Structure 1
Amino acid sequence: MQADYLNLSRAQDLKNPKEKFLYRFFEIFPGFLSWGTLGGAFILSWLAPVVVAIFIIAFDLYWLLRISYLSFHQLASYKQMKKNLKIDWMEKLKSLNPPAGGKRWPEIYHLIILPMYKEGIDIVKPTLQALENSNYPQDKMIVVLATEERAGAFSQKLAKEIKGEFGKIFFRFLITVHPKDIPGEVAGKGSNQAWAAKIAKEKIIDPLKILYQNIIVSGFDIDTRVYPQYFACLTWHYLTAKSPLRSSYQPIPVYNNNIWRAPAFSRVISTSGTFWQMMQQERPEQLVSYSSHSLPFKIFEDIGFPSDIVSDDSRIFWKSYLAYDGDYKVVPLYYPVSMDAVMAKNLLGTALNQYKQQRRWAWGCENIPYVLYGFLKNKKIPLGEKFRHCLNLLDGFWSWATCALLIFFLGWLPLILGGEGFNISLLSYNLPRLTGQIMTVAMIGMVTAAIISMLLLPPRPVGSSPWKNLSMIFQWLLLPLTLIGFGTFPALDAQTRLMLGKPLGFWVTEKISPPPLGSNQKPNNQ
């Protein structure tokens, strides 16, 4: 029997006024902290400019050290990923000797759920082709094309066309239709996945009596294209994990499907997301499931996949962590899957879609009240673990919403608002020079990003100019603008909505079909 607090999505779900007030306080807190920081910096630059100036110097030094620390993790993660890409994981699986009574790899099935909305065949088909090209036996794959009733007849026609071409390749191929307007659900990927898993259980898993512990579920975005060794790598980690049934398995998302066609700012934002996930793989104690990832089917049965929130990918981790009293973690795979960078039909549309996607990801701040409230209710999780996770969550979303503005603009506020008394001081004279020098040294992080981004690129498309390679380097000059315009602003937007009690609905990222590919334009995962 699950505790009631595990299924909360917002304060309004609670009946007790005191409990509702507490949860509502936790919803307000992230936005209050971020806006309080920015407002406090503005006011104190006028009332206490010396204090703010000293804080600016200390803050910039802190970020210099943090960037150096994260760059080290980024390089280490990149090296491990390149190493894993060279390993023959299928051969490694075959040579694996399980302990007495342990599972053998031929027993493991993969349930692959592909939620789709109104994407075209040029988006859906390459995903199935990548599964077909996987070196893990296709007769151990159950593919579910999870469609939406609200997507209309076009989606159903496309799903049947895809099944006609790929249906006989896999052990089972199932099309599910997620009904619209189910009470209590938020329309989106999470509710669609939950429905698809339920139907797969009823129609395939239970009738065939496949053991739940022998099934790994991969919930993939419809544009996710796996590398040939992905499922072998995933299976190896599942069979060798210390607690396989109490773990999720996280690949590294790289946005190589359309990276050569995407605008520069979209490339920077997408690649920055890749880099963050690479850094997190090096810090598994902070790693939370994200986007396309895998987990044991038993989690679906024991806990259930969230269907009433937007940030379902991370919520399944926190729900499992609370349900298992802290005995749950994410295993880093150091292995990539390839996805689409944000693109629309024109530059303005791309910018708008990019903002909406970043805001949807920033809506993960809804996990803060869920986790804080859950930690108060769960007395079995060690206090130190609770403190560590709370600090990481709050720091992550606070930094997302404030740090770019603090770094790039706060240094000028005391000079503008501090008055004549501060402006004639030696500190006033040295402040912009000192912070500028610190930030110049911190550019090492941007240089590291530019180098690794070039190493991650797939082959340049046939017919494109060699000058395109230069744009892939100089695009990183846009980083300050992208950090603010597509980082700070959508994060503040999301936290403000949470603070005001105005929930964000799920927004499906538009997918633009590619032009005909040349022979070497295929992403490097095929």
Structure 2
Amino acid sequence: MPSSFSSTSSLDGPDSGINAAKLEAANRYVRWNLLFLLTIFTFLLFPIWMPLIPYVNQATNVVIIITIGLFQLIWLIATICAIRRTLAINNRNKLKTTKAQDVESADATANDYSTIRHIVAMTLYKEPMSVLQTTLDSLVQQKDAKSRLSVIVGMECRTPDKEAKRNEICAKYESKFLRLIVTFHPSGIPGEISGKCSNMNYACRQGLQILRQDVDYNYEKYEHIFTNCDCDAVFDPEYTLELETEYSKLDFADRHSSIWQSIIIYKRDSMPFFVDITGVLRTFFFMGVLIPWNINPMSHYSLSVKLLEEGAFTHPAYQMEDIIALIRYTIITQREIRIRPLNLISINGPTSGANYADEIREWALQVRRWTIGAGEVFHYFIVKTYRMPGLYLSISWATRFFIYYGLVLCASAIFSVISPFIVQLINMVAAEHDRLFISDSLFSTIRFIFLGTQYAFLLIVTVLVRWSLPVPGDNYNKGLRGITRGLLHWILMLPTILAYSFVELYSFFELAFRGKDVCKHNAASKNNLVLVKGAGNS
């Protein structure tokens, strides 16, 4: 089987190379993420200025309680959505394992998908080869990988020992996939920033060009599904089969207006509590917010190659290709794009460090990168709002995006935990005033009730993600040790969320003051990452 390598520059397309430079320069000095920060900061200052303004201060307790109550309502909705998704995943898992005829039926159905081929692309910079090999090993397990699955590995020209790594990849895997393509993304292309977005954009364009030019491949004969993933993704062995099943249920229009997202678990052999808790919460928000609220895909996701090309691949001047994907494809294709769940588990590696201090630094850097990426996407959306296919869709998506990234992830924990203390302290020194509906004693009681309900939600999150999902090869959360660790980490969840929120708030301020200069893809370190053994086996 031929493998293909490329290091030539590809500057064509609406958002690549020179055109990306023009797009970036047009909006360099008006950064709409300032509106994002201003709204969050004004919101967080309510408990400080409201108690000091005559007449307005009478409603302070009411406003604080109603606001925290609304946050609790969001958690309730997200929890219900997450429970429904957990049930769907477990039902699929039971159907898969209970009857042998289900396997025969799946095999027979798979024959109907013989015109579908898969392309999976990932990028590599300084990550250890062992991490990449774990991902490729999970792809080898996919049904008909040798006859229907092509893999693109996009390296940077600056990747250390790139030629040796390319040779190692090809020696081990070129006979296990239909095609194996390795590209080298050149540095210094005008308008691009270094990172996964620009590397993936280049790898996709070059990879598809190579496949189209391959006479033996017969590109035009097949319908192609593309999967974008990180180099530390471990796929369920039935990922491509489940994807084909869901893909084939839709008509032509819906197939090419959809992005499929599996539920991702973040695992490695050992993790500090804050890394572990962040991974649990991210999985919960996959099931409870990102997919059902149709906000954005994350980490690795799938779509038709037709949609990938119509959406101009990935934007090389922005750092978070997953957060920007849905809104970008909606704007460019002028049709609403839907995120559809795949009821199976995939595994990603969380951040890792050589020691505890390094773990904290890597965790904070990752939170910072996600936050700055979200701010950049908000800027991109506002600049492009006039191109959205409908005012309602524009307002709806912006509202959902802001509620999640601005309020749920950044402001809600700070407001819910700290604002009641601030209000009570200011009330002690402020001029006496009547309380509207809610006295100070009742205010304190309700505050503790909300603290209890928040921990109840977090307990449900813990049970769902740690012990209810059918995660393959999971010994980390099993047994007495796993249960004890899970309950201890449940207690530490709220302090971790608070720390996360403060890092987010700092990152929004950093983006406001430093602007585009801070929008770089500082990838989390994977040097010490060891995924849980057996993670790719069901």
Q: TM-score if structure 2 supplies the norm length?
A: 0.85
Change (3 A) 1:205 1:487: farther
Q: Given residue 109 of structure 1, which amino acid in structure 2 is its aligned partner?
A: R
In structure 2, distance between residues paired with 1:282 and 1:299: 18
Q: 2:307 aligned with 1:307, yes or no?
A: no
Matched residue SS, 1:409: helix
In structure 2, distance between residues paired with 1:357 and 1:91: 43
Q: 2:457 aligned with 1:445, yes or no?
A: yes
In structure 2, distance between residues paired with 1:108 and 1:422: 72
Q: Residue 263 of structure 2 corresponds to which residue in structure 1?
A: 252
Change (3 A) 1:125 1:282: closer
Q: 2:36 aligned with 1:30, yes or no?
A: yes
Compare 226-235 and 68-77 and name the one that shifted more.
68-77
Q: 2:358 aligned with 1:349, yes or no?
A: yes
Q: Residue 340 of structure 2 corresponds to which residue in structure 1?
A: 331
Q: Residue 294 of structure 1 corresponds to which residue in structure 2?
A: 302
In structure 2, distance between residues paired with 1:79 and 1:11: 48
Change (3 A) 1:282 1:183: closer
Q: Contact 1:423 / 1:429 at 8 angstroms: preserved in 2? A: no
CA drift at 1:39 = 2.8
Q: Contact 1:28 / 1:499 at 8 angstroms: preserved in 2? A: no
Report Cα offsets for 1:212-240 as digits up to 9, x if no partner. Answer: 97111111100101011001011111222
Change (3 A) 1:314 1:116: same
Q: Residue 380 of structure 2 corresponds to which residue in structure 1?
A: 370
Change (3 A) 1:82 1:369: same
Q: Residue 180 of structure 2 corresponds to which residue in structure 1?
A: 173
Q: Residue 74 of structure 1 corresponds to which residue in structure 2?
A: 82
Equivalent positions of 1:454-493 (< 5 A) are 454-455=466-467, 456=469, 459=473, 466-493=480-507
In structure 1, distance between residues paired with 2:110 and 2:529: 44
Matched residue SS, 2:232: coil
Aligned Cα root-mean-square deviation (Å):
3.1
Q: Residue 509 of structure 1 corresponds to which residue in structure 2?
A: 524
Q: TM-score if structure 1 supplies the norm length?
A: 0.87
Q: Contact 2:411 / 2:501 at 8 angstroms: preserved in 1? A: no
Report Cα offsets for 1:253-304 as digits up to 9, x if no partner. Answer: 1113x0x411111010011001000113662x52422211111112343232
In structure 2, distance between residues paired with 1:279 and 1:491: 23
Q: Residue 101 of structure 1 corresponds to which residue in structure 2?
A: none
CA drift at 1:384 = 2.0
Matched residue SS, 2:306: helix
Q: Contact 2:14 / 2:312 at 8 angstroms: preserved in 1? A: no
In structure 1, distance between residues paired with 2:535 and 2:304: 28
Q: 1:157 aligns with which of 143, 159, 164?
A: 164
Change (3 A) 1:282 1:292: closer
CA drift at 1:355 = 1.1
Percent of aligned pairs with the same residue? 15
Structure 1 runs of 4+ with >6 Å offset: 1-4, 7-12, 423-426
Q: Contact 1:30 / 1:499 at 8 angstroms: preserved in 2? A: no
CA drift at 1:522 = 2.0
Q: 1:54 aligns with which of 62, 74, 78?
A: 62
Report Cα offsets for 1:1-43 as digits up to 9, x if no partner. Answer: 9989xx998998355xxxx59x826332101111122234322
Q: 1:42 aligns with which of 16, 39, 48?
A: 48
In structure 2, distance between residues paired with 1:350 and 1:137: 36
Q: Contact 1:264 / 1:472 at 8 angstroms: preserved in 2? A: no
Change (3 A) 1:295 1:407: same
CA drift at 1:421 = 4.4
Change (3 A) 1:472 1:205: farther
Q: 2:234 aligned with 1:241, yes or no?
A: no
In structure 2, distance between residues paired with 1:56 and 1:281: 27
Q: Residue 148 of structure 1 corresponds to which residue in structure 2?
A: 156
Q: Contact 1:30 / 1:397 at 8 angstroms: preserved in 2? A: no
In structure 2, distance between residues paired with 1:390 and 1:176: 36
In structure 1, distance between residues paired with 2:74 and 2:488: 24
Change (3 A) 1:11 1:435: farther
Matched residue SS, 1:216: strand
Aligned length: 505
Change (3 A) 1:465 1:252: closer
CA drift at 1:138 = 2.6
Q: Contact 1:135 / 1:228 at 8 angstroms: preserved in 2? A: yes
Q: Residue 120 of structure 1 corresponds to which residue in structure 2?
A: 128
CA drift at 1:440 = 0.9
Q: Given residue 32 of structure 1, which amino acid in structure 2 is its aligned partner?
A: L
Q: Contact 2:47 / 2:423 at 8 angstroms: preserved in 1? A: no
Matched residue SS, 2:126: coil
In structure 2, distance between residues paired with 1:504 and 1:420: 42
In structure 2, distance between residues paired with 1:514 and 1:188: 20
Q: Contact 1:215 / 1:297 at 8 angstroms: preserved in 2? A: yes
In structure 2, distance between residues paired with 1:111 and 1:479: 38
In structure 1, distance between residues paired with 2:236 and 2:296: 22
Q: Given residue 349 of structure 2, which amino acid in structure 1 is its aligned partner?
A: D
In structure 2, distance between residues paired with 1:372 and 1:68: 30
In structure 2, distance between residues paired with 1:50 and 1:217: 57
